[in-house]
Amino acid sequence: MKTAAAIAVFCAGGGLTRYYLSGWIYSLVGRSFPYGTFVVNIIGAYFIGLIMEFSLRSALIPDTLRLGLTVGFLGGLTTFSTFSYETFKLLEDGQFAIAFVNVLASVVVCLIFTWFGIITIRSLS
């Protein structure tokens, strides 16, 4: 029950962070591309690599905290469903090139940032 509570609390924090951060990003650069979703997913990709690699190398992060941070906070922060919807709407609106760039950039950049998180921890070891 303690783990489920941690996940729920962290998930709320991640969801609120996504809401405010993506809104702020859209206010800065506009909505011609799904920048808000793209940025929060990149941040989440980096931090899941960082947290998971660190927790595999150290006992400093208890399982409950690791699950709260990854499943909860990062699960609430990142959003495949919004990515999917925004990409679908781009396709539906005939913006095929932007939809393609969104899919390709999201997958490639998020994989790169997950790797950055992992190598950040490995370089500190």
Q: Is 78 annotated as a binding residue?
A: yes
CA distances from 26 to 23, 31, 87, 108 (A): 5, 6, 16, 22
Specify binding-site residues for Na(+): 75, 78
Specify binding-site residues: 75, 78
